[in-house]
Chains A and B, each alone.
Chain A
Amino acid sequence: MSDELISIVDEKATVELTIDDEKVAVPEGTSIYDAVIGMGKTIPSMCYHYTFNPFGSCGVCLVEVEGKKAPVRSCTSPVAAGMIVRVDTKTMFDARKKAVEKHLQTHPLDCPVCDADGHCELQDMSFNFGITQIGEVKQKGLPEDRRSAVLDFNMNRCILCAQCINICKEVVMVDALQFFKKGGFTHVVAKGDTALACEFCGDCLAVCPVGAITNKFSKYLYKPWQLTKTVTACNYCADGCQMRVEVTDDAVVRVTSLLSWKDKWDDHAATADGHGGLCVKGRFGFAYINSSERLKKPLIRRNGAPAEASWFEATAEVAKRLKAIKAAHGPDAIAGLITARCTNEDLYAFQKFMRQTVGTNQLDSSARYGHASYVAAMEHALGAGQPTVSFQDVTFANAILVVGSDVTETNPILALRIKDGLRNYHAQVIVAHPVRTNLAKLAPFPYAIHVGSEGAFVQGMTKAVIEEKLVPQRVAAEYATAIAALRAAVASLSWEGLASATGLSREAFTEAARAFVAGERRVIVLGEQIVNRPDGYANVLRIADLMLATGMIGQPGSGVIRPCEENNERGAVAAGAMADRLPGGFRYDDPAARARVASAWGGSLPSGGTTLADMLDGIRTGRIKALYAIGENPLGTLPASAGVREALSRLDLLVTQDAFLTDTGAMAHVVLPAALAAEKDGTFLDGHGRLQPVVRALDAKGEARPDWAIVAEIAQLMGAPLDYTDAGEIRRDLLQIAPAVFEAGAVALRDGFAGEVASRYAQPAVAAEPSSSGYPFELSLYQVLYHSGKMSTRDKGLLEIDAKNRLQIAAKDGEVLGLASGDRAKVSSPLGSVEVGVEVNLDLPTGMCRFPEHFNDPPVKDLLPMRVDPVSKAPAFKAGRVRIEKVAP
């Protein structure tokens, strides 16, 4: 942790005491344990972990304090001035040894069959203390608690250290576990002694010092020493967690976190760097890597059916046909799509392949779906397209505004940072979301706004800040013209109009604005309901207005964080894998950057460029003849109204490159098997701007290869080779073009900002919905905690946890429609109708229903229209109006 951040933590008076004849000064209120740890010594302890407050249940951390007869538990005893403490004495060693012996009396000696064998704190301690006799043994003989979907609780082994309970309560703030007395023994059970219904993050499993909590997916399969462990980056969301992938010869057996009982000694404030834990996807969503559905060999369509082929045949076929199309129709008849789940190296290699080898700029990545709006708008307004807030800034923020994001579901680890701020640093958390989200239940300022009114809410905040005279002096002086323009612009908004749009009164806006400007460091968490909307670009500009009004521009520790859905959306922008971006994240029409890239590549850059929506139009009109899609599945992602199937069937050549045979892949002429992130080297640029190393943990399944290697081979066969032998070379190439590519730019107000403000407030913030009569419900596709994109629905483990492809409706709507959980309903929109199972959700507002975007069965997504943002070209397809009717069973 940097010194700057330490200084943020409140300064306290220091106290002097003597520990083992050495004088030390520590802040008041520190425990003796922390004081000793601070000296570089260790006291064995089983219930201590730096991420939460000391609990003092294990009784091992005993020290001698002069003046006290009995040894004291150092973790729960605060220091006092002049205290004389002895740690390393024979008496204390024996006292601690006795404490461990006491634990062993109730702990069964079933180490040989225990999964924690070899990774057990009690085992290590018994060894270190040299315990050979344990006196009278008292066994519990309890059956295992197997009610949870992912964890087994064996209470015979439990030593009641309460680390699982504490981490769940204090760090994850889910509070799903409790002590429960039954049958004469204390158990750890889910709240109310029911089946565990929590976020399944598995942090309790990680901190358990014995084998009392075990992983159901890897139970009894292997011992810790048999597994090869590789630390690599998770490839679900953009929180960029490092995790330990544990593999045998050819399969991932389990994923463990850096958080564990082994890593327990640190400063409590170090949780700001991340507590090391994972979410349910990271920890339990690894089975897709071992899936038997993985593509193992290339497929070439012969006589209408895909047939297995060798790599040589497949790449030669792709190269031959691409060359033929290029020769006949020119390079612009070829288009490329790549997913932002690829590494930076894959993304860079692919855009270079498209722009150099093929010679076209018909290129897009899945960062287009939402992040593109953010990048374009922020660059336009503030000159920096990438979020500028660091990971720690979220924890140390005085105020956090979460708008349009159900962050505990989409980006659980970022949510933990917000919760850390909430609990330890008293952050004012303001949540604006139509649904009562998990974070809204914890936040001091939750606001239930109308569906789709996130943009209006931000405008209301800006208006409240300006009209309540909360604009900081510094800002009012520095940006006088911009503030004046903004003042005039917000005056044109009426509180009544905002109230009818958002459902919030002027008082509510004022309250939120006052809470938001209370401190110096402010962070806005900008969710997908802001960017993935038809007016996503305009919404982000409204955020820029709020940043200006509250003085967040140029304020250290303040800024916006964009919780991206896919792990490397920032990387896709940085690597230039989008039609409007150059490597380095520069605009494609930036002449200086163009010249630099062109000279580095030794050629010229193609002009023009087509983004996803235009690309589909181009295919439909016959302008584009070939599509090369890496990891992208537009048929499965976009609604039927986008006409993807019709478009793809017109292609002369469709090449897909994926780990699985997707809907799009089933239509493809050539399918190339790609390696997953755990099977290749490279880097991700996570949502916090940290470059995450991706390390190969196991060999790729079958003949699958890394994406960049396949692209490089096709380039070679097309006669314009990309000379790369490993991912590091590609990264060096990218860094040569743009040395600061992985760093966030500086934020500064662009000239012309003031001039534009007025026009932004001329139209209402809520886009007028097309005729809503007859379609009374607002349907939106949402992300659930247990899934990420479509990839996780290939994961056996995650499907076991959650496979609910149900339409969620509000309780009141359920009553009116006569629908209860488990019933079936017909959902219709102007675009069609589907039948779907229903689940009543108490947190939804009336008039809103939602369906998890991860499931295409039933095809609820096809009911929704697709609208493209006019500026950023981001397609919005996750919201629309529907009618719900009960279907008789």
Chain B
Amino acid sequence: MTLKELFDKAVMREILDGLQTTFKHLFVKPVTFQYPHEKRAIPDAHRGALCLLRYDDGAERCVGCDLCEAACPSRCIKVVSEEDPETPLRRIATEFYIDITKCVFCGFCVEACPVNALAMTKMYEYSTANKRDLMFDKAKLYQIGDQMLADAKKYLVVHNQELNDEAAMQYRYKFPYAPAKKG
């Protein structure tokens, strides 16, 4: 055993060598983030939970046209529509269900919606012990929409559904279509 070897053994050089990387990382910013104490920034185009939206005056956008139901590849949407008893000619959705356990988050329903009533949000935390809670009904979807309105609007803009506020006006059909009377 040479003197050097002896010295190395005395100061436990091999362990120091091994710890060198560890010590180095004492001064490096950690890559792990502390979910759920910390949250990741989600891109605007993220396909999270679906929601139903209202117009700014609080009126429901959805006209119950069943096109989302037709577009859905996993057949998780059910719309029950009828004529609004108060406003003749106006079609409304009396019930609206999305079975989120079946949903594949493809976003086709949002694309199909002629009135931009559907949007996807950045919400992804809805795990539950009761599977029934994952059957989103109309009230729940509007609740998500009201909570996540900013996200939902950003989603529509990013996906070219509503380009910007000015251009979006032309998409804002309100059925029945009632043009302004001249004069």
Contacts and interface: CB of A to CB of B under 8 A. Distances in A.
A226 B79 CA distance: 11
Interface stretch (B95-103, B135-143, B148-156, B170-178): B170-178
Contacts of A144: 88-89
B179 A220 contact: no
B65 interface: yes
Given A110-B176, A112-B114, A221 B70 contact: no
B175 A141 contact: no
B66 interface: yes
Most interface-central of A112, A141, A225, A226 (chain B CB within 10 A): A112
Contacts of B69: 226
A219 interface: yes
B91 A220 contact: yes
Given A112-B175, A139-B177, A141-B181, A223 B83 contact: no
B176 to A, nearest CB: 6
A750 interface: no
A185 interface: no
Interface string A93-132: 0000000000000001111110001000000000000000
A154 interface: yes
Interface in B159-181: 173, 175-179, 181
A220 B81 CA distance: 6
A225 B75 CA distance: 14
Contacts of B177: 108-110, 139
A223 B177 CA distance: 19
Contacts of B90: 113
Contacts of A109: 173, 177
A141 B178 contact: yes
Interface of B is mostly: loop
A401 B115 CA distance: 59
A141 B64 CA distance: 21
B82 A221 contact: yes
A264 B114 CA distance: 31
Contact of B82 (A108, A112, A220): A220
Nearest to A108: B177
A442 B74 CA distance: 57
B99 to A, nearest CB: 16
B63 interface: yes
Contacts of B63: 112-113
Interface of A is mostly: loop
B181 A112 contact: no
B81 A221 contact: yes
A222 B83 CA distance: 11
A103 B88 CA distance: 25
B67 interface: yes
A871 B143 CA distance: 76
Contacts of B83: 219-220
Interface string B77-119: 0000111000011110000000000000000000000110000
A144 B178 CA distance: 12
- The size class of the interface chain A forms with chain B is 20 to 34
Nearest to B84: A220
Contact of A226 (B66, B91, B175): B66
A596 interface: no
Contact of B65 (A112, A156, A221): A112
B89 A139 contact: no
A732 interface: no
Contact of B70 (A110, A113, A219, A223): A223
A225 B67 CA distance: 10
Interface string A134-154: 000001010110100000001
Nearest to A137: B179
A219 B64 CA distance: 12
A112 B88 contact: no
Given A139-B179, A220-B91, A112 B70 contact: no
Contacts of A117: 65
A757 B102 CA distance: 79
A112 B179 contact: no
Interface string A215-233: 0000111110110000000
B183 to A, nearest CB: 13
A146 B179 contact: no
A146 B114 CA distance: 26
B179 to A, nearest CB: 5
A108 B70 CA distance: 22
A146 to B, nearest CB: 7
B89 A222 contact: no
A112 B115 contact: yes
Nearest to B92: A220
A113 B89 CA distance: 9
A222 B178 CA distance: 23
A74 B114 CA distance: 37
A112 B171 CA distance: 13
B22 to A, nearest CB: 62
Given A144-B88, A220-B82, A110 B66 contact: no
Nearest to B70: A225
Contact of A113 (B88, B91, B178): B91
Contacts of A154: 89
Interface string A464-481: 000000000000000000
Nearest to B78: A226
A154 B177 CA distance: 12
A887 to B, nearest CB: 39
A226 B178 CA distance: 28
A403 to B, nearest CB: 47
Contact of B64 (A110, A111, A156, A220): A220
B115 A141 contact: no
A116 to B, nearest CB: 12
A141 B89 contact: no
A113 B66 CA distance: 9
Interface in B19-61: none
Contacts of B64: 113, 220
Contacts of B89: 143-144, 154
Contacts of A113: 63-65, 90-91, 175-176
Nearest to B114: A112
A113 to B, nearest CB: 4
Interface in A592-618: none
Contacts of A222: 66, 81
A108 B67 CA distance: 18
Nearest to A115: B91
B66 A223 contact: yes
A550 B89 CA distance: 59
A144 B65 CA distance: 19
A290 to B, nearest CB: 15
Contacts of A108: 176-177
Contacts of A110: 173, 175-177
Contacts of B178: 141
A112 B70 CA distance: 12
Closest 7 CB pairs of A and B: A112-B65, A113-B91, A113-B175, A112-B114, A220-B91, A220-B83, A223-B66
30 contacts: A108-B176, A108-B177, A109-B173, A109-B177, A110-B173, A111-B114, A112-B65, A112-B115, A112-B173, A112-B175, A113-B65, A113-B90, A113-B175, A117-B65, A139-B179, A141-B179, A141-B181, A143-B88, A144-B89, A146-B88, A219-B82, A219-B83, A220-B82, A221-B81, A221-B82, A222-B66, A223-B70, A225-B70, A226-B66, A226-B70
Interface of B: 63-67, 69-70, 81-83, 88-91, 114-115, 173, 175-179, 181
Given A113-B63, A223-B65, 4 more contacts: A113-B64, A139-B179, A221-B82, A226-B66
Interface of A: 108-113, 117, 139, 141, 143-144, 146, 154, 156, 219-223, 225-226
